[in-house]
Amino acid sequence: MLNVNRNAIHEPIRDPGQGSLAAEQIRERVQRRLLAELSPTMDTRNMELVRPALEQIFLETLAQEQVPLSRIERNQLFDEISAAILGFGPLEPLLRDDSVTEILVNGPDQVFIERNGLLKEVDVRFRDTAELMRIIDRIVAPLGRRVDETSPMVDARLPDGSRVNIIIPPLTLNGPCVSIRKFAKAVYSVDDAIRLETLSQEMAHFVRACVLGRLNIVISGGTSTGKTTLLNILSSFLPSNERIITIEDAAELQLNQRHVVRLEARPPNIEGRGQISIRQLVINALRMRPDRIIVGEVRGAEALDMLQAMNTGHDGSLTTAHSNSPRDTLHRVETMVLTAGTDMPLRAIREQIASAFDLIIHLDRLSDGMRKVVAISEVQGMEGDIIVMQDIFRYQQTGIKDARVQGYFTATGIRPKFMEKIQLAGIDLSPAIFGPTQRKDIRR
């Protein structure tokens, strides 16, 4: 409830007709009055309770200061004040814009967004570093985290599931930096991926057969290439009668199956204790009778446990990894296994990888911002000390026209060695999908 303090100090606003100066002073006055008059026990995250109280204080302040504002100006100012006090300040319009996929704040005076795969600077500014730090505190406080000089880096999550990374001075030289990867409200389907030309119809049929045939699949690619989105699409092919366990750093997968157990890693608390790593969750998941294990991303020692799971009867596992190419994916996994502190020789590690992985699907973000599956590669086994791979499908770029990348998807004409496993699962794939595609430039 409101503790209305009618004896609050009244500081008249000078020159109310000075536009932005008056608006700034009104904003500061309303914020001070709100803090003074709201009950300390009131949950400021309860918008239905706080917003009417805030609007009352706002209208009273305008009446007392006799500030001449039109209805549009008054509504705009109130929205700005509401965002500053109850939301995420200048970031609110960007968070509400579904066409914005990423928000990158480089200090109080520079904000970039990603839209349609391309970065663009926007005219969004914070008043000063203090306002930006208040927004940062509002992000991390509900999670029991803090950001200060003793803990200048933190990963967090917004209420809608968007991922947030924060790093502040002294580690940054241009002020606090915030990176927000927005959570997709709509789940992309395989039809959406085909329509957006992320992959071809033939590739979609093939990867669906691979998922149903319980092949172990790794989705690889660079930052923001759509790995998690594609993992969501592949997960939609999983049968509804299987027990699925997902393991993620920040929960992003959106599975519609009935029998899904979702596990999420936990960072250390303020005292530096209580951390639960992805590796611990992978080990625990093996004791939970999974039919399928889906790891959002392997980036460390958990790669060893993932390999062990794939090689000990947990076929059909899915995961993602950062890399520049399908071959680099194997090299990265080798390195990650070595970080687990194992004394296994390199050849033994490669044998584990060659035995565990069946398929690598590699994504890339092209120069025009479009995300595409540029290679689907089979891991065929070992020859000597080398893991043998073979492309089954690839994207062939032919040039650039009107700032748009031109190219086409094609099969290489090679039939994968694991086709017998797919056929034994009762899945019929037409041999025609492995025939090389006639060159046909894709034009949008």
| Residue pLDDT, tens place only, 218-255 | 999 998 898 999 999 999 999 989 999 999 887 788 88
For tokens 């309860």, the residue is 46
Report how far apart, in Å, the C-alpha atoms of 85 and of each of 56, 76, 138, 222 are: 14, 14, 10, 37
Tokens describing residue 265: 């890693």
Report how far apart, in Å, the C-alpha atoms of 210 and of each of 213, 254, 271, 309 are: 5, 20, 45, 18
- Lateral strand order in the sheet of 386-401: 260-264, 244-248, 292-295, 318-322, 217-221, 359-365, 371-383, 386-401, 404-411
**In sequence order, what DSSP letters do the residues of 111-176 get, joined into one string?**
EEEEETTEEEEES---SSHHHHHHHHHHHHGGGT---BTTB-EEEEE-TTS-EEEEE-TTS-SSS-
Rounded Cα gap, residues 306 and 293, in angstroms: 9
10-24, 67-81, 197-211, range with the lowest pLDDT: 10-24
Domain limits of the chain?
Answer: 20-86, 91-181, 190-434
CA proximity to 215, closest of 355, 75, 111, 392: 355
Q: What does the DSSP 8-state code read for residue 387? A: E
The CATH number for 91-181, chosen from 3.50.30.50, 3.40.50.720, 2.60.120.1440, 3.30.450.370, is 3.30.450.370
| Residue pLDDT, tens place only, 343-395 | 889 999 999 999 999 999 999 999 888 999 999 999 999 999 999 999 999 99
Rounded Cα gap, residues 45 and 421, in angstroms: 53
**In sequence order, what DSSP letters do the residues of 429-440 get, joined into one string?**
--GGGGSPPPP-
The CATH number for 190-434, chosen from 2.30.110.20, 3.40.50.300, 3.30.230.70, 3.20.20.70, is 3.40.50.300
Average pLDDT over residues 111-138: 90
The region, left, alpha or beta by phi > 0 then psi within -120 to 50, assigned to residue 52 is: alpha
Tokens describing residue 208: 């669906």
Residue 274 — pLDDT band, cuts 50, 70, 90?
A: confident
Rounded Cα gap, residues 92 and 96, in angstroms: 6
Write down the pLDDT at residue 9: 35
